[in-house]
């Protein structure tokens, strides 16, 4: 077992976009970051390089967050090596937008499995470890879509709303064990997730009149993982330019 005093961090979906920015934000000298990916290994390795350029330490870990057994195996492998996971960021997510009348069952199932069931799949085994260590930070990345609903995103809105409910419930279950559980709800952030969306029209809807950056989100996650945020739990904090 590696008995380093560094905090052990797992960021799911850390190969690009918000996940990459979060992994880099958390990749300080005091932490060792595991960058999860499903299929984009080169991008995940690039995230690790960016962390190491900032004097941090990182390693990629491949598994499908929608697969319970694969998630369990990956988490137990990290726990076997380090004995703990101090910080978990449930970020992995996908979109399959379509009006519900024309939505296929697979469009529904894939989104729920990847965006919501993944929370259970990954967190379940880590929570047990955090309880035994009496410390932990869990950050779940939800969305304004889960707060207000978005036409064409019934599947995505349902999954992200589920994350909000799960965050609040789990926070109450384990707060006495010095474990905080919070959700960050980004609005329109400038990433590949916005591909194909009408950007000019979207910007008109945002009071700040611009898209958010991945760093806008990662800075908040960094704070929530810090000692200064030890009394903040069960909260959903928006990063949305005032749209919600």
Do 160 and 142 contact (CB within 8 A), yes or no? yes
Which two structure tokens, joined as six digits, stand for 175? 């707060």
CA separation for the pair 51, 27 (Å, rounded): 5
156 is catalytic: yes
Which among 32, 125, 156, 188 is annotated as catalytic? Answer: 156
| Radius of gyration over every alpha carbon of the chain, rounded to an integer in angstroms | 17
Catalytic residues: 156
């Amino acid at each position: 077992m590696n008995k380093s005093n560094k905090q052990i961090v797992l960021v799911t979906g850390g190969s690009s976009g918000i996940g990459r920015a979060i992994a880099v934000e958390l990749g300080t000298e005091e932490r060792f970051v595991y960058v999860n990916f499903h299929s984009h290994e080169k991008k995940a390795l690039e995230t690790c390089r960016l962390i190491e350029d900032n004097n941090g330490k990182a390693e990629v870990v491949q598994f499908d967050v929608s697969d319970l057994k694969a998630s369990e195996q990956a988490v137990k492998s990290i726990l076997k090596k380090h004995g703990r996971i101090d910080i978990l960021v449930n970020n992995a997510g996908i979109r399959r937008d379509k009006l519900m009348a024309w939505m296929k069952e697979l469009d529904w199932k894939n989104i729920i499995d990847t965006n919501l069931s993944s929370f259970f799949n990954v967190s379940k085994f880590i929570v047990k470890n955090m309880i035994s260590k009496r410390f932990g930070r869990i950050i779940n990345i939800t969305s304004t879509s889960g707060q207000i609903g978005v036409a064409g995103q019934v599947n995505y809105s349902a999954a992200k709303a589920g994350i909000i409910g799960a965050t609040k419930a789990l926070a109450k279950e384990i707060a006495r064990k010095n474990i905080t559980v919070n959700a960050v709800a980004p609005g329109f952030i400038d990433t590949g997730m916005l591909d194909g969306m009408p950007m000019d029209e979207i910007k008109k809807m945002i009071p700040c009149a611009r898209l958010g950056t991945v760093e806008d989100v990662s800075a908040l996650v960094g704070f929530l993982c810090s000692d200064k945020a030890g009394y903040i739990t069960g909260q959903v904090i928006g990063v949305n330019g005032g749209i919600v």
